[in-house]
Every structure is written in C-alpha cells, then in structure tokens.
Amino acid sequence: MFGFVVADKASLSEQEFLRYRSCYCGLCAAIRRRHGQLCGLTLTYDLTLIPLLLGAVYLPEERQEELVCPAHPVKKRQRWTTEFTEYAADMNVLLAYYKLMDDWHDEKDVLRLGAAQCLKNACASIEKNYPRQCAAVRDCLAQLSRLEEQGSADADEAAHWFGVLMGELFWLQEDEYAQTLRRLGYFLGKFIYLQDASVDLYRDLKKERYNPLAFVESTDHRPMLQMLLGEATEALETLPLGRDERLLHNILYAGVWCRYEQEQQKKQKRKEKDRK
C-alpha cells in the first residue's frame, strides 16, 4: 500500500519541491544510518508525511546538511532531519517488512521472503523502542488476514483495521494533540486501504484475488474516498501547523489522489478499447 501518500509535484513551487525532496533525502539517510544500506532500499515517499506533520506540530530542531548522494552523485543534495525523521525511518522499515511478508503469503515469492528476512533484525531493534506501534501493526494485519481468509464482504471493517494501524503510527506521546493525530491517521489509513483496493480491483478480479470492493455494488468509489479523506483533512485543520502548511495541504488534498486519477485514466482507456 505504498505510493499513495505523495505530493502532487506539479502543483509545488520550486522551493516547496526542494523542501519535500530534502525531507525524503533525510529519511533515506536515516534509514541507512540506523539500519544499514540494504534497508535503504525500502525507502518510500509515503513516510515523509510523518516528519513533515509532526515537525509542523511540535517544531523540533532541524539538522541541515548538503551532501553528495550515492544515487545522485553529480550534484550535492540538501537534506534535513529531526527526531521525527528517525522515527519515520523505523516505521518505514517496519511496514516494509510486513509488506514483504504479506506478498510472500499471497504470492509465495521466495525473493520477497528473502528480502523480508534481511529486515528481521532491524525490526527486532525497532520493537524494543516502539512496542506499541509494532504490536498495533502485527495485530491489525492479523485481523486483515483473518478477513481476507474468510472472504469478508465488509469493506468498512477491513479498512477499519488499516485505519487503526495508521492511527497508532501517527502519535508518539500522550498530549493535547495525540487524539487528533490518531484520528488523522485513522481516516487516512482507511482512505489508503480502500483506494488501494479500488486501484487494484480490475487486476484482483482478473487474478481471482480477494478484494473487499468486489462486493460493493457501485463501481464509483470516489464519494466514499472523499468522505474518508474529508475526515482526515478536518483533523489536520485543527492542528497548529507552525511550518510546511502548504506542503501538507498539497499532500493531503491533492497528492493522495494521484494514483487514483492514474487508474481512472487507465480504466477509461480500457473502456474505449473495448468499444472498438
């Protein structure tokens, strides 16, 4: 379910894009520093939302650097990190591990299993630091597996468990913002889960794989997704955003729709091809 929480880069100013990319580069560096170069391959743009969001709320000190990146050696790149970048790095590796294990379970791809085994030690150290989050990921994914094995037609229940998972990742301490951050994560998680199901519906039906939206009568999933995202953005608007407000709005109002819009274009092309 990676690749959904991204910025709409076409709508960013040059300064906003550099800020966003610097956050991503900082996350990449944190993963490699904390867990090794191999774990750096798990990097995804999705988890940049955590240092951006928590940084906007709590305003931690930022560490700025300008270094040559091994993947982009021609020109130096800027990157910034905070304490929340370190946290996002751990959550990135944790989610990547369970995503690989899920792929192994579904497809019996030994390469995925081998990659997951490479992350196992990293996940053990992450669990020592964040037992609540690790337990939430395990428990919620177990509930999702149960529903999948049962062939559950209840898309909302399935989305609920991924929402609970995301809600637990979005807060670190019990304070005045914890409930709002949990709520934001919960509804964003439900949105991600059902958007992923919508995007994959055609392929899943073709391959006879479980998809909770296969049991939904309507094929227009946009109203449902808009409602869930509306709940997430409503939570966002109640948080004090001391920086990166425009960038966060770009991600949560526009960027999260990019994959869905791409799939809608593909769907339209398939319809046009079938009519010929």
Tens of pLDDT, residue by residue over 204-244, are 898 888 999 998 888 889 999 999 999 999 999 999 999 99
pLDDT score of 103: 77
Burial annotation 124-149 (CB, 10 A radius, 16+ → b, else e): eebbeebeebbebbeebbebbeebbe
User: Could you tell me the pLDDT band of residue 110, with boundaries at 50, 70 and 90?
Assistant: confident
Does the predicted model carry a pTM greater than 0.85? yes
Query: What is residue 115's predicted lDDT score, i.e. its pLDDT?
Result: 81
Residue-level length of the chain: 276
Q: Which residue has the higher pLDDT, 38 or 53?
A: 53
Q: What pLDDT does 265 receive?
A: 85
Which residue's entry shows tokens 């550099």? 18
Residue 3 makes CB contacts below 8 A (sequence gap 6+) with 44, 45, 46, 259
Residue ranges per domain, the chain? 9-260
Q: What does DSSP say about strands 63-69 and 72-81: parallel, antiparallel, or unpaired? A: antiparallel
Span 57-84, average pLDDT: 87
| For range 90-104, the mean pLDDT | 89
Q: Which two tokens stand for residue 131?
A: 């037992």
CATH of domain 9-260: 1.10.600.10
What's the count of helices (H) and strands (E) in the chain, helices before strands? 10, 2
Angle subtended by helix axes 155-169 and 131-150, to nearest 10: 170
More confident residue, 162 or 70: 162
Q: Which residue has the tokens 């946009």?
A: 222
Amino acid at 93: V
- State percent of the chain over pLDDT 90: 69
Convert the pLDDT of each residue in 17-42 to its tens digit. 999 999 999 999 999 999 988 888 88
Give the separation between CA 181 and CA 136, rounded to whole angstroms: 16
Q: Which two tokens stand for residue 255?
A: 């960027």
When pLDDT is cut at 50, 70 and 90, the band that residue 257 belongs to is very high
pLDDT digits (tens, 9 = 90+) for 144-185: 999 999 999 999 999 999 999 999 999 999 999 999 999 999
What pLDDT is stored for residue 276 in this prediction?
63
